[in-house]
Structure 1
Amino acid sequence: MRALAWHGKHDVRMDTVPDPEIINPRDCIIKVTSTAICGSDLHLYDHYIPTMQAGDILGHEFMGEVVETGPKSTLKKGQRVVVPFTIACGSCYHCGKQQYSACDNGLPADNQDIAQTIYGQPMSGLFGYSHMTGGYAGGQAEYVRVPFSDVGPIVIPDGVDDDKVLFLSDILPTGWQAAEYAQIEPGDTVAVWGCGPVGLFAVQSAFLMGAERVIAIDHFPKRLALAAKFGAETINFEESAVYEALMEMTGGIGPDAVIDAVGLEAHGLFVDNVIDQIKASTFLGTDRTHSIRQAIIACRKGGRVSMPAVYGGFVDKFPLGAFMEKGLTLKTGQTHVQHYMPALLNAIMEDKIDTTFLISHRMDLEDAPKAYDMFKNDQNNVTKVVLKPGLGR
C-alpha cells in the first residue's frame, strides 16, 4: 500500500509499505477514505516530538470502510467508521471513568517505559504520533490496522459525507472538551488563543455552551475572519497588545475563562518567545510557551484556564505566582474522544454543529508531502487539508 512516512525534519515521503494485518482478536483493518493533517502533525514535521523513527507512518485523523475484522471485533465488513486518535482498551480503571486518553493498555508494553520516564506514567496510545505513544502506524495511508476496534470507532450512517464527520476523529471533540474544561457559565466572556482548527471549534463550542462573548486571538486574518463568522470578537496580536486589549474589552476584569489552543510552537516577536526560540534552537529548551503564560496573566481572578494545546517537555518562566495568587483553575489533557463522539455525531446530524467550514483544501493522498509544506508555510490560507486516496485518479 501507499502511505506517508516520516524521514526527518521537514522530510515526509509517500512510500510503498506492507499492508497492515490483523494482529489481535479485537483488531480491524479499514480502507481509508479520508484523512487530514492536524496542527499537531506539524510538531512531528518540525521534529519537536521525540522518539520518531524514519519510516514511521503519520496521521491520526482518519475514517474509512471496514474491510477485515478480528474474531472479537464488533464491527462488520462494509461499515463506514470514524476512528478516534486515542487508542483505548475500554476496560481498564481509567476507561471505566471514560478517561480514554489515560488508558493503561493503549500502549504496548515495550513503549510504556519511554512515556513513564518522561511523564511519570504512560498515556494511551495514539495513531501515527511517535514511539512514545506506541509507535502505531497512522492513517495517512491507504489502509490502517485499528486496535480495540470494539471500543474506538463509531459507525457512520449511510449517506453522510466524509467531510461532515471526519473531524470527530480529533479536532471537534478536542475543541468541545476545551470549552467544557473552561467550565463556561451563561454570560461568560471566554478568550481563545489560536484560531487553528481546535481553536475554531473551541470558539463554536463555547457559544453553544452559553458563553455571551468569545474573543479570538491570532495573527492570521482569514482565521480570525472564520472565528468572527461564529460571532467572536477578534484580536490580531500583530496589531494590538493582547493583555491591554483584553483589559479594555472586559472593563479591567479579564476574561472569565481562557483557552490555550496554540501549544509548544507559539508565534510572535515577544521577549519571552524569542528567548524560548533561542533555547529550543540551542537544545537548552523544548517548548515555546508564550500563549499559556499570556492566558494566565490575562485571566480574571478566580477564573478558569483550559489548555487543549500540545506541550512536550519542561518549561521555565511559568507564571506560577500569578496562577496561585489569582486563584486560577487549570484543566488540560489529551482528548477523551470516545466519550464525546456519540453526542457530537448527533449534533452534526441535527445541523447544530458545522464542520465543513474549516476545509480549505482537498488533495490526493499522493500529494501529502506538498500538503504538509503548504500547511506549514501558508497557515493564513490553509486552514485544513483533507487527503483522499485515489482522488486524482
Structure 2
Amino acid sequence: MDFDYSPKVQDLQARLTAFMEEHIYPAEAVYHAEVEANRKAGNAWVATNIMEQLKVKARAAGLWNLFLPESERGAGLSNLEYAPLCEIMGRSWIAPEAFNCNAPDTGNMEVFERYGSEAQKEQWLKPLLAGEIRSAFAMTEPDVASSDATNIQAEIVRDGDEYVINGKKWWTTGAPDPRCKILIFMGKTDPTNPNRHQQQSMILIPLDTPGVTMTRFLPVFGYDDAPHGHGEFTFENVRVPVSNILLGEGRGFEIAQGRLGPGRIHHCMRLIGMAERALEAMCKRSLSRVAFGKPVAEQGVTRERIAEARILIDQARLLTLNAAFKMDTVGNKVAAKEIAMIKVAAPNMALQVLDWAIQVHGAAGISDDFNLAFHYAQARTLRFADGPDEVHRNAIAKQELARYQ
C-alpha cells in the first residue's frame, strides 16, 4: 500500500499550509473581534470584512473549491486527494469558508452538481461556487427522533404546478447567515408508501419565500456560532414551483446518502486537523509551564497523554484515508461501513485529545484565550451531525453480523 501523496497533492498541501500561516492564523483574532464588535452593535449575524478579504486572497492563490470529486467545476481531486487538504483547513475554525470549502455549502453544492437540473445549477450552484451566497440543509425536526430520518413529518404536497410545504425544522446550520439564500428541504411527498425510504423528497426553498420563518437561533454549549450559526424554522403553506423538486419525488433518501458520505469524510478530516493543533498546543504549553519543580512535560501523566494523543490521531487519520480510498474505488454505498467507522472514531478521538490539551492548559483551557473550549463544543456537536454514534455503531454491527448469518 502506497501512503505517499501525489506530487499534485503535495504541492497543494504546501501552498495551503503557507496560506494558513500567512493569512488564516493571523486573521483568527481579527475575525472574532469583528464578530464581537458586530454583536455589540446589535447584529452579530453580519458577514465579516476579514472573511471576505481572505476569500479574495484564497481565490487569487488558486485555493478555491478544492472539493467536488469527479467534477470539472472543482479542483479535480478525488476524496483521497482532498482529505489531507481538508485536514489542514480543519486546523482553524475560519479556514474552510475562506477556501469556499465549508459545511453545509460543500454538501449542498455536491447535491446540485449530482442531482440538480441545469436550471437549478445555473440559479444556485453557480453563485455558491463563486462564494456569492450561502446555503443550508433543512432535515432535522424538533418533534421526532431525526436520527431515524424516516420519522420526518414535514409535508410536501403537490397542488397543480406548485408544491405546498408545512413543517418544522431545527439545527438548520448556516441559515441565520444573511448571505444564506437557499434551503435544501427534506420532507414527505408520499407518507403512505410501504417503502419507508421512498416516502421522502428533497425540494429547494428560497429563504425569502412567504411562509418561511426563523423562530430562533440555536446556540451550541453557549456559542452562537455567529455569523454562521444554526436556526429553528417553521414552514407554513410555503409554495414553490414543481421545478424546485430535486431528482423527483421519493428520491430524498437516495440524495441524502449521496450527500452525507462525502460530508462525513470532510468532518472527520477537519476534526483530525483540529486535534493536531490541540496536540501542538498541549506540547508547547507543557514545555513552558512548571509545576512541582519541573516542567509539566516531564510529568509522567502528561507524557502518557501526549503519546496516546499521537496514537489516536494517527489511527483516526488512517481509518479516514482508507474510507476515502474506498469511496473513490468502490463507491459510497459499498464504503458505508468504513464511513460509519470514521464518523464514530474521529469525533471521539478529537474530544479526548482536546480534553487532555485543556487539562495541560489548566484553567486557561476553559477560557476563550486558546479556543480549546470552543473546539471542544464543536467536536462534541459532531457526534450528532450527519448521524449520531449510536446509529453508526448499529450499522457497523449489522454488517459484521451479516458475515456470519
- Using the size of structure 1 for normalisation, the TM-score is 0.25
Higher relative contact order (CA 8 A, sep 6+): 1
Structure 1 or 2, whichever has the larger Rg, is 2
Could you say which structure has the higher strand fraction?
A: 1
Could you say which structure has the higher helix fraction?
A: 2
